[in-house]
Structure 1
Amino acid sequence: MTAKTSESGSKAGGKRGGLAGAMTPGRITVLVLAALALIFIFENTRSTEIRLLIPLVTMPLWLALLAVGIIGALVGGYFMRRRR
């Protein structure tokens, strides 16, 4: 019985659990920036011409911005993973 008490005591004193442990200032900043980026993307809905090396493509600006944002997030995630 004392072994269980010491295990639960070590777990309780370790990490913060629940929502308080998940919401760090860095994560809040990332969520706010992501929300602002999505607002910017979806406010720009007109069509635009984009040159993709050789072809000229007409597409909604929000789709082009979203695609570039996703590519940027993937590249950033790749380099952060390699850094560890």
Structure 2
Amino acid sequence: MSPKTSTSERQRNSAMTTGRIVVLALAVLGLVFIFQNTQSTEIRILVPLVVTPLWLALLATGVIGALVGYVLARRRR
């Protein structure tokens, strides 16, 4: 980095920013929550009734939410 690089630019380029640490901690907590809920559950997907482990339903919901957030964040740029 050049001496003219501002502190905010160095922080933005740092590998472990505060935002990334928070996201990582929330992801770990989410995974712990998902894998603690292992019982089966019934889910109605439009018409059919599906019996699946709760952890799989929670994980699928989390992945769908992450994908939607990613797409919306990219459209904003």
TM-score, normalised to structure 1's length? 0.78
The whole-number CA distance in structure 1 between the counterparts of 2:41 and 2:14 is: 43
Give CA deviations for 1:4-62 in whole Å, capped at 9, x if unaligned: xxxxxxx343465xxx9110000000000000000000000000000001000000000
The whole-number CA distance in structure 2 between the counterparts of 1:44 and 1:83 is: 35
**Secondary structure, in 3 states, of the residue corresponding to 1:57?**
strand
Which residue of 67, 70, 77 maps to 1:77? Answer: 70
Residue identity (%): 65
Which residue of 32, 44, 50 maps to 1:39? Answer: 32
Structure 2 residue runs of 5 or longer lacking an equivalent are none
User: AA paired with 2:29?
Assistant: L
Structure 1 residue runs of 5 or longer lacking an equivalent are 1-10
TM-score, normalised to structure 2's length? 0.85
- Comparing both structures, which one devotes a greater share of its residues to helix? 1
Number of matched residues? 71
1:51 paired residue number: 44
Larger radius of gyration: 1
